[in-house]
């Protein structure tokens, strides 16, 4: 049970967390001599921030909970860690502040950069007594700093999962405009950090990990795509040497933002290493008139001493604690795209809907092709009215059929885009975000949502359709990067992204029960900024299960399974032309927010029966899959991956082992499942509704012949379970239940 938030006043000590992994964020005030110190603590994490007599605060510690500290301990800690920038050539130790800059002796990438009428700004910040305060109820540290012509407000918020969010807000208090070039959040990491992990990717191969040694210097990853991007750094991680899924100490950051971003780390010879992120601001993009303010997106910092799965667990617990997090069971979705593409026909779609309902589908989503002039991807975007040639009675007939079958109804939109061949583009060419001379991309351009009239038009058009058809769901797509995105000649990616967020917020305020999926050419908009306003993401446009295993594994570093759309595609994947068995496709989609993207009217009765059983297994297990602790146990075999979910009470688990390539051994390695009660006794058996793969063994393991094992949790975790030798493209899914 989470304890109430509290402040422990001097000279008392902070009491230890009753349950360290669930403790509420609290605050401890340090001594006033030589400055002030505050400590946020929650979920096994401490953040200690010191405010000197002059200048901005400095983070003395971010990592493992330090336990009870007295005022004397604070002073000793300050003396132990204050030398954050080498004094070898300086007259006194200089600090590494929340917003590092040259005035503090920092020679890495600055946390703040701006100019006023061509004059570079090197602010001498001061923080008054009232500008370094804590909010007990939210576990937030507020810093209010001033410099001539500038006001900087910073928030550090530590939640119950030990996840730290940092945001800065800058106000121009001067008499002249201020051109902002950078405003980024940074945090120091331990000197033991020795390796770097981040991500890259492309369309249908998103979130590919890349890893290497931590080299000296300031290193920056930028994205300039106007959206999160297929090649997004995603989560930027520094870790101790050799960290892996279950072991190692890690410091990570994710920027909750769907526009251009900067991820950075600075490992300078003269200073502590820092990790950070912020919005990428193009020249002249953010000019603040006197009195205007700019707030950064949240930089989300996570520390773990349990490897990558420890990072993921903190992200997942933080997200699941949100008020907006989906609470209802995640319905089985059938999306029509790979079933019919642009060929919309009522009779065909009604047959598809009846077939879908017959195998257990709960939500039917009509994809691209329903609106005015949309017979291919070269026309119609922007004209959000139902095409009367294809749908003479509107969408009402298909909506009635879907609802009569007990399913919800959803609709695809791409609201931010417009085809030149559309009524909207012909009537309002001034609404385009790019100039007409911009090179074409999929035959479409973006609409400038910072224009109030364009914003209001889209909100009204979409809202009218949501009301008319009582839509349960929108698949919100965005299929191009933003190149030369300008408003009145000025770079406009940041303000446009803010407008996209407002459009989503206004739409949901009008229709509180509406759910929205974030899709952008598949997985090009997967971030916590968009997920503050949507209910799930489409991880990738590929439904090839072999590709999906890797894409979803790394998407799971940030997101829990219930937020990741994962569908059963056709026998031969649209994107790779690779064939996969239905059993393998079902096992892959099970670990996510499951669905189908396939013309299942072409299925044989045997295939429909397999689908029915696979969907039944998802519907039975989703309460566990979408609430339990996710891990990726090591298999000792580079050709296989294991994914496990264990319930919070450790009484129930489900594990998938999938083979994506052949291995070096002819004997399969044993599966070890962490997180069970070592003293509990468990039954291990294949998931009842799913097929057991034949594998490559002449004789399967004896326990599979009997159909089950009964073992203590300690044996399952430390000795393991012998599996069959799977062939590439096979998976086995096991259910583990505690016995009375």
Q: What would the pLDDT profile of 395-422 be if each residue is shown by its tens digit?
A: 999 999 999 999 999 999 999 999 999 9
Packed helices 493-510 and 452-469: angle between N→C axes, nearest 10 degrees: 30
Is 714:679 a contact under the CB 8 Å cutoff? Answer: yes
Band (454; pLDDT cuts 50, 70, 90)? very high
Confidence category of residue 134, pLDDT binned at 50, 70, 90? confident
Which pLDDT value is given to residue 179? Answer: 98
What are the DSSP calls for 124-191, one per residue?
--EEEEEEEEEETTTTEEEEEEEETTEEEEEEEEE-TTS-EEEEEEEEE-SSS-EEEEEE-EEEE--T
Q: Which residues contact residue 426 at a Cβ distance below 8 angstroms, ignoring those fewer than 6 apart?
A: none
pLDDT exceeds cutoff 70 at 12: no
Among candidate residues 231, 368, 541, 583, the one labeled active-site is 541
pLDDT of residue 86 exceeding 90, the answer is no
pLDDT of residue 491: 96
For residue 422, the SS3 value is coil
Angle between helices 605-625 and 582-590 (to 10 degrees): 20
Q: Poorest-confidence range of 482-486, 517-521, 681-685, 735-739?
A: 482-486
105 pLDDT band, cuts 50/70/90, is: confident
Q: And the tokens for 393? A: 């009675």
User: CA neighbours within 13 Å on the CB side: how many for 61?
Assistant: 23
Does the structure show a pLDDT above 60 at 437? yes
Could you write out the DSSP letters of every residue in 10-69? Answer: TTSPPPPPSSGGGPPPEEEE---TTSEEEEEEETTEEEEEEE-SSSS-EEEEEEE-----
pLDDT for the residue 439: 85
- Residue 422 CA to its chain's centroid (Å): 34
268 pLDDT tier (thresholds 50, 70, 90): very high
Phi, psi of 341 (to 5 degrees): 50, -130
Confidence check: pLDDT of 93 > 80: no
477 is catalytic: yes
pLDDT digits 0-9 by tens, 501-547: 999 999 999 999 999 999 999 999 999 999 999 999 999 999 999 99
Measured N-to-C along each axis, helices 605-625 and 346-359 cross at an angle, to the nearest 10 degrees, of: 60
Of 75-79, 130-134, 289-293, 369-373, the poorest mean pLDDT is in 75-79
Q: Give me the chain's average pLDDT, please.
A: 93
Opening angle at CA 106, ends 104 and 112, nearest 5: 85
Q: What is the mean pLDDT of residues 262-269?
A: 96
Catalytic-labelled residue, pool 104, 368, 383, 477: 477
DSSP string, 461-524: HHHHHHHHHT-SEEEE---S---S-EETTEE-HHHHHHHHHHHHHHHHHH-TT-EEEE-BTTBS
What's the pLDDT at 82? 64
| Nearest-angstrom CA–CA distance, 544 and 549 | 9
d(CA 642, CA 622): 18
pLDDT tens column, 319-359? 999 999 999 999 999 999 999 999 999 999 999 999 999 99
Share of the chain above pLDDT 70, in %: 94
Q: Does residue 92 carry a pLDDT above 50?
A: yes
pLDDT of res. 679: 97
9: left (phi over 0), alpha (psi -120 to 50) or beta: beta
Q: What residues pair up with 378 in beta bridges, in sequence order?
A: none
Residue 35's pLDDT band (cuts 50, 70, 90): confident
For position 11, what pLDDT does the model report? 26
Average pLDDT over residues 644-649: 98
User: How far apart (Å, rounded) are the C-alpha atoms in residues 554 and 200?
Assistant: 11
198 is catalytic: no
Q: What is the pLDDT of residues 185-213, one digit of tens each?
A: 999 999 999 999 999 999 999 999 999 99
So what's the pLDDT on residue 229?
A: 98
Q: Lowest mean pLDDT of 12-26, 101-115, 219-233, 279-293, name the range.
A: 12-26
pLDDT at 6 over 70: no
Mean pLDDT of 365-381: 97
Q: What angle do CA 463, 469, 471 make, to 5 degrees?
A: 70
Statement: residue 157 has pLDDT above 60 = yes
Judged against a pLDDT cut of 60, whether residue 2 lies above it is answered with no
């Amino acid at each position: 049970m989470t304890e109430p938030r509290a402040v422990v006043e001097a000279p008392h000590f902070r009491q230890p967390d009753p349950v360290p992994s669930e403790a509420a964020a609290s605050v401890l005030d340090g001594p006033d001599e030589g400055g002030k110190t505050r400590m946020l603590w929650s979920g096994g994490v401490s953040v200690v921030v010191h405010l000197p007599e002059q200048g901005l605060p400095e983070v003395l510690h971010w990592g493992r909970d330090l336990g009870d500290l007295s005022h004397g301990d604070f002073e000793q800690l300050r003396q132990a860690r204050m030398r954050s920038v080498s004094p070898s050539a300086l007259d006194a130790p200089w600090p590494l502040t929340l917003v590092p800059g040259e005035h503090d002796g920092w020679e890495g990438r600055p946390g703040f950069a701006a100019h006023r009428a061509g004059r570079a700004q090197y602010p001498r910040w001061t923080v008054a007594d009232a500008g370094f305060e804590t909010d007990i109820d939210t576990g937030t540290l507020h810093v209010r700093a001033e410099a001539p012509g500038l006001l900087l407000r910073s928030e550090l918020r530590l939640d119950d999962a030990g996840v730290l969010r940092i945001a800065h807000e800058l106000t121009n208090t001067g008499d002249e405009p201020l051109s902002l070039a950078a405003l980024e959040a940074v945090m120091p990491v331990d000197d033991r950090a020795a390796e770097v992990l981040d991500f890259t990717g492309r369309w249908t191969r998103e979130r590919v990990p890349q890893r290497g040694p931590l080299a000296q210097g300031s290193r920056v990853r930028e994205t300039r795509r106007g959206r999160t991007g297929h090649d997004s750094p995603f989560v930027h991680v520094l870790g101790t040497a050799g960290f892996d899924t279950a072991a190692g100490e890690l410091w990570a950051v994710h920027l909750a933002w769907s526009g251009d971003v900067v991820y950075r780390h600075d490992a300078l010879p003269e200073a502590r290493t820092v990790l950070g992120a912020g919005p990428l601001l193009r020249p002249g993009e953010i000019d603040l008139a006197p009195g205007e303010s700019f707030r950064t997106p949240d930089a989300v910092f996570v520390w773990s001493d349990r490897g990558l799965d420890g990072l993921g667990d903190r992200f997942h617990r933080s997200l699941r604690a949100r008020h907006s997090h989906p609470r209802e069971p995640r319905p089985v979705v059938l999306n029509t795209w790979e079933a019919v593409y642009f060929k919309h026909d009522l009779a065909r779609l009604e047959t598809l809907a009846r077939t879908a309902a017959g195998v257990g589908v709960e939500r039917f989503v009509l994809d691209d092709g329903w609106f005015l002039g949309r017979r291919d991807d070269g026309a119609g975007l922007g004209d959000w009215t139902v095409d009367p040639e294809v749908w003479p009675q509107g969408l009402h007939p298909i909506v009635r059929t879907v609802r009569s079958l007990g399913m919800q109804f959803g609709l695809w939109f791409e609201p931010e885009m417009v085809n030149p061949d559309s009524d909207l583009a012909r009537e309002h060419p001034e609404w385009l975000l790019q100039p007409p001379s911009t090179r074409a991309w999929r035959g479409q351009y973006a609409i400038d949502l910072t224009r109030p009239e364009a914003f209001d038009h889209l909100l009204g058009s979409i809202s009218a359709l949501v009301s008319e058809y009582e839509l349960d769901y929108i698949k919100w797509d965005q299929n191009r990067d933003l190149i030369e995105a300008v408003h009145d000649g000025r770079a406009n990616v940041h303000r446009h992204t803010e407008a996209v967020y407002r459009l989503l917020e206004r739409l949901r305020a009008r229709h509180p029960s509406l759910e929205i999926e974030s899709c952008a050419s598949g997985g090009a908009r997967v971030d916590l900024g968009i997920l503050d306003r949507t209910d799930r993401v489409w991880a990738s446009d590929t439904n090839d299960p072999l590709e999906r295993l890797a894409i979803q594994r790394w998407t799971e570093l940030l997101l829990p399974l219930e937020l990741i759309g994962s569908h059963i595609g056709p026998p031969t994947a649209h994107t790779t032309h690779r064939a996969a068995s239905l059993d393998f496709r079902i096992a892959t989609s099970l670990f996510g927010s499951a669905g189908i993207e396939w013309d299942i009217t072409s299925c044989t009765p045997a295939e429909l029966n397999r689908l029915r059983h696979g969907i039944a297994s998802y519907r039975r297990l989703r309460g566990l899959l979408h609430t339990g602790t996710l891990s990726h146990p090591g298999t000792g075999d580079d050709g296989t991956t294991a994914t496990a979910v264990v319930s919070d009470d450790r009484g129930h688990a489900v594990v998938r082992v999938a083979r994506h390539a052949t291995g070096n051994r002819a004997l399969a390695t044993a599966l070890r499942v962490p997180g069970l009660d070592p003293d509990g006794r468990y039954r291990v058996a294949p998931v009842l509704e799913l097929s057991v793969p034949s594998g490559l063994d002449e004789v399967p393991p004896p326990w599979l012949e009997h159909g089950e094992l009964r073992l203590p949790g300690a044996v399952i975790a430390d000795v393991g379970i012998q599996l069959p030798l799977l062939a590439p493209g096979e998976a086995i899914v096991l259910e583990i239940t505690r016995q009375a």
